[in-house]
Chain A
């Protein structure tokens, strides 16, 4: 069995420290995380992780079970690239002069599906979403014209085969509402508190 790209989708409670608990399942086995996205799901109180790794399926299966075993994890799935639809967003900051004088902006906009999201006197920020290869291609296109800054988001992925988790997660939250996260409310009150 050879390594290939897998995307793990993990539904969790909104708990402080859970990101670390999940991340160390990978680092303990010296597995690199290629991309990690964690954000609130469509249902308040439930978070969704997308984790991308290169591994053999046998290992990924075990990783998913270890993740799902964590008390605050609701469910963990793993999928190959064929089984998901995914996107990554990328931002490119370019010098305005170069763009207006040298770059064929039209080509940029059409061929790469890019759009300008900020236009200033000194720079323009373009945005595009797509697969890794597509965003990479735009980097190499822009680089000769003086790319100032680049950033790419983590992968977000939707599982093709699913019946849709929306209703399930929604129903779940309705039946058993999640607990509210209590954050450390005293952290910035040092001045007001005398302790020693």
Chain B
């Protein structure tokens, strides 16, 4: 957001008159000491450094200019990624956070800059992604005057933030930012927004030094673990003939992948994942029975309604997972492990609630359960898997038609990456296909917009993931609809030289909506027929090499070329126009009513 205002004179109090307008020739950044007089902006950057922030995604503008001015001296310490739209910055920060496990940081200006963050905040809120967004705000004395680029950002973002706060005085900055990082990353993580008025960025105050926030009196990030409930849970698991584990992102957020594996291995417990839980357990683990939910695997959905004990770990029984609630696992005793007490009994009534961080509760549960195997029960899953293989999977990854399918692309990609790449998906058919067919060997490898289903999430999030994932290969997989929602970020990839591999699975339709129109609306394809630009030429305009293919014979070579190319690459793959994703639990149906075609 540009500004048409110019800064001529600054506010009175605490303002160093000689420093009006922030001299460009300020001292180079060295860690500032407590007791120094710093501007609010410098304090912001000092706190970011103290919090270990190395990468910030942002876009300058009038009300955040003092922070950007201070950033000029911190360029060697903080890598600022200039995006092309604020939505891109927040999705990138989400991707960064999900790939690295750290807090993603965003700078945006007031008004439109801040409102452009709202979709990303809602996405991060529902998918529990830790973010700290710092937005500029008009001068404190202008609040409520409909000043240029003034919006009530605090109230707009209240429902989509875990916490937010408006700073009008530089004295508040150190404690508020330390608190922001603590809240964002602790307990059930989430997005935090700190809105700083321009005067507070400019005015100076004595820097008290960085003090890490480790406690807020009204905030209980983790419930106290109560062993009596774990004992109850263990009793149920030990007595179970057909136990079934569902796991979600809680396992990844709690960094409890090993604890989780030990738990299911000791109990011989078949485990299925939600799309945010994907990659917490290697795909080829013998107890990994597949994906839950609307487009999940056959066995896990049907057998949800046959198991006798259902153990949910770090997942929230989303309606896309449960289908019709009054017909969901009614026969089963339900154990629910969650760090967020408000999730217990929210959608599914639990028999035994286990409040707490699964990093702490899972080892206790593992200790309390008996070492067991359930070969017959596990075999039931395999039987369903064979049926699904024959009716859904084989036709998708070994199609008889000449036309490429999304599934075979992902299958081929698995072979080439050996399951080591990070796959970032957008939203729609390609997302479901990727989650269904991708193979992963390590955690934090699948990044997707789960709860909010934000089209346009994929490519910018992959950009952030690439920056947060060190040397790992990051591949964004988008549809032709979603890619067009945020393709301006190609400019960011170009300028910041982000070595991101982009695949567009182009079916020339808004595929998922078209699938529903076909199945539930008599094939009335109302506005799902979408045109694309020439993506390869578009990429070229951004100095990104690319290719378009539509033949099976080209697939492997093209994917290999993409992976072998140094730096960014865009590969457009033309796939079948009217392919559907199956299996499918139609909306309003029970998970047992899953359709294979």
A194-B155 Cα distance, complex, nearest whole Å: 27
Query: Which residues of B, 117-174, contact A by the 8 Å Cβ criterion?
Result: 139-144, 154-155, 158-159, 162-166, 168-169, 171-172
**Does B526 reach chain A (CB closer than 8 Å)?**
no
- Whether B143 and A71, one on each chain, are in contact in the complex, defined by CB atoms closer than 8 angstroms, is no
- Whether B217 and A186, one on each chain, are in contact in the complex, defined by CB atoms closer than 8 angstroms, is no
**Does B401 reach chain A (CB closer than 8 Å)?**
no
**Does A151 reach chain B (CB closer than 8 Å)?**
no
Chain A residue numbers with a CB within 8 Å of B164 are 17
| B148–chain A nearest beta-carbon distance, Å | 8
**Does B340 reach chain A (CB closer than 8 Å)?**
yes
Partner of B340, one of A12, A69, A182: A69
- Whether B163 and A185, one on each chain, are in contact in the complex, defined by CB atoms closer than 8 angstroms, is no
Of the candidate stretches A20-28, A78-86, A135-143, the one touching chain B is A20-28
**Does A189 reach chain B (CB closer than 8 Å)?**
yes
Partner of B162, one of A17, A65, A71, A74: A71
A12-B140 Cα distance, complex, nearest whole Å: 26
**Does A118 reach chain B (CB closer than 8 Å)?**
no
Chain A residue numbers with a CB within 8 Å of B9 are 194-195
| B200–chain A nearest beta-carbon distance, Å | 9
Known: A65-B342, A72-B218, A195-B9. A24 touches B141 (CB 8 A): no
- Whether B217 and A184, one on each chain, are in contact in the complex, defined by CB atoms closer than 8 angstroms, is no
Chain A residue nearest to B154 in the complex (CB): A17
- Whether B143 and A187, one on each chain, are in contact in the complex, defined by CB atoms closer than 8 angstroms, is yes
- Whether B11 and A193, one on each chain, are in contact in the complex, defined by CB atoms closer than 8 angstroms, is yes
Chain A residue numbers with a CB within 8 Å of B199 are 186, 193, 195
Chain A residue numbers with a CB within 8 Å of B154 are 17
Give 13 A-B pairs besides A13-B218, A62-B342, A184-B140 with Cβ atoms closer than 8 angstroms: A65-B341, A65-B346, A69-B341, A182-B169, A182-B172, A185-B140, A186-B139, A187-B141, A189-B141, A190-B142, A193-B11, A195-B141, A195-B199
Chain A residue nearest to B171 in the complex (CB): A182
A28-B125 Cα distance, complex, nearest whole Å: 15
Chain B residue numbers with a CB within 8 Å of A13 are 217-218
| B264–chain A nearest beta-carbon distance, Å | 29
Interface CB pairs A-B, < 8 A, 15? A13-B217, A16-B166, A17-B164, A20-B155, A24-B159, A28-B159, A61-B345, A62-B342, A66-B342, A69-B341, A71-B218, A72-B163, A73-B218, A178-B217, A185-B140
**Does B30 reach chain A (CB closer than 8 Å)?**
no
Chain A residue nearest to B344 in the complex (CB): A65
**Does A1 reach chain B (CB closer than 8 Å)?**
no
Chain B residue nearest to A75 in the complex (CB): B218
Known: A12-B218, A195-B141. A186 touches B162 (CB 8 A): no
Chain B residue nearest to A22 in the complex (CB): B158
Chain B residue numbers with a CB within 8 Å of A72 are 163, 218-219
Chain A residue nearest to B343 in the complex (CB): A65
| A30–chain B nearest beta-carbon distance, Å | 14
- Whether A184 and B216, one on each chain, are in contact in the complex, defined by CB atoms closer than 8 angstroms, is no
A residues with a Cβ closer than 8 A to B are 12-13, 16-17, 20-21, 24, 28, 61-62, 65-66, 68-69, 71-74, 172, 176, 178-179, 182, 184-190, 192-196
B residues with a Cβ closer than 8 A to A are 5-12, 139-144, 154-155, 158-159, 162-166, 168-169, 171-172, 175, 183, 198-199, 216-219, 340-342, 345-346
A184-B346 Cα distance, complex, nearest whole Å: 38
Chain A residue numbers with a CB within 8 Å of B158 are 17, 20-21, 24
Chain B residue numbers with a CB within 8 Å of A187 are 140-141, 143-144
- Whether B139 and A74, one on each chain, are in contact in the complex, defined by CB atoms closer than 8 angstroms, is no
| B404–chain A nearest beta-carbon distance, Å | 43
A192-B168 Cα distance, complex, nearest whole Å: 17
| B296–chain A nearest beta-carbon distance, Å | 26
- Whether A193 and B141, one on each chain, are in contact in the complex, defined by CB atoms closer than 8 angstroms, is yes
- Whether B342 and A69, one on each chain, are in contact in the complex, defined by CB atoms closer than 8 angstroms, is yes
A186-B203 Cα distance, complex, nearest whole Å: 13
Chain B residue numbers with a CB within 8 Å of A190 are 141-142
A72-B217 Cα distance, complex, nearest whole Å: 8
Chain B residue numbers with a CB within 8 Å of A73 are 218
Chain B residue nearest to A65 in the complex (CB): B342
- Whether B216 and A186, one on each chain, are in contact in the complex, defined by CB atoms closer than 8 angstroms, is no
| A63–chain B nearest beta-carbon distance, Å | 10
- Whether B342 and A195, one on each chain, are in contact in the complex, defined by CB atoms closer than 8 angstroms, is no
Chain A residue numbers with a CB within 8 Å of B341 are 65, 68-69
Chain B residue numbers with a CB within 8 Å of A62 are 342, 345-346
Chain A residue numbers with a CB within 8 Å of B8 are 194, 196
- Whether B11 and A186, one on each chain, are in contact in the complex, defined by CB atoms closer than 8 angstroms, is yes
A146-B177 Cα distance, complex, nearest whole Å: 58
Closest 8 CB pairs of A and B: A65-B342, A186-B140, A186-B141, A176-B217, A71-B163, A74-B218, A71-B219, A195-B139
A62-B347 Cα distance, complex, nearest whole Å: 10
Chain B residue numbers with a CB within 8 Å of A17 are 154-155, 158, 164-166
Chain B residue numbers with a CB within 8 Å of A193 are 11-12, 139, 141, 199
A187-B169 Cα distance, complex, nearest whole Å: 12
- Whether B142 and A195, one on each chain, are in contact in the complex, defined by CB atoms closer than 8 angstroms, is yes
Chain B residue nearest to A72 in the complex (CB): B218
A82-B158 Cα distance, complex, nearest whole Å: 34
| A69–chain B nearest beta-carbon distance, Å | 5
In this complex, the member of B11, B171, B175, B340 whose beta carbon has the largest number of chain A beta carbons within 10 angstroms is B11
Chain B residue numbers with a CB within 8 Å of A65 are 341-342, 346
- Whether A71 and B216, one on each chain, are in contact in the complex, defined by CB atoms closer than 8 angstroms, is yes
Partner of A185, one of B169, B183, B218: B169
Chain B residue numbers with a CB within 8 Å of A196 are 5-6, 8
In this complex, the member of A73, A172, A186 whose beta carbon has the largest number of chain B beta carbons within 10 angstroms is A186
| A87–chain B nearest beta-carbon distance, Å | 28
Chain B residue nearest to A73 in the complex (CB): B218
Chain B residue numbers with a CB within 8 Å of A66 are 342
A195-B5 Cα distance, complex, nearest whole Å: 10
A195-B175 Cα distance, complex, nearest whole Å: 26
| A75–chain B nearest beta-carbon distance, Å | 9
Chain B residue numbers with a CB within 8 Å of A194 are 8-9
Chain A residue nearest to B182 in the complex (CB): A71
Chain B residue numbers with a CB within 8 Å of A185 are 140, 168-169
A69-B161 Cα distance, complex, nearest whole Å: 12
Chain B residue numbers with a CB within 8 Å of A68 are 341-342
Partner of B198, one of A12, A61, A176, A195: A195
A176-B10 Cα distance, complex, nearest whole Å: 37
Chain A residue nearest to B179 in the complex (CB): A71
| A164–chain B nearest beta-carbon distance, Å | 20
A185-B216 Cα distance, complex, nearest whole Å: 25
A191-B273 Cα distance, complex, nearest whole Å: 60
Chain B residue numbers with a CB within 8 Å of A21 are 158
| B139–chain A nearest beta-carbon distance, Å | 5
A42-B7 Cα distance, complex, nearest whole Å: 46
Chain A residue nearest to B349 in the complex (CB): A58
A129-B274 Cα distance, complex, nearest whole Å: 54
Chain A residue nearest to B221 in the complex (CB): A71
Chain A residue numbers with a CB within 8 Å of B162 are 71
Chain A residue numbers with a CB within 8 Å of B143 are 184, 187
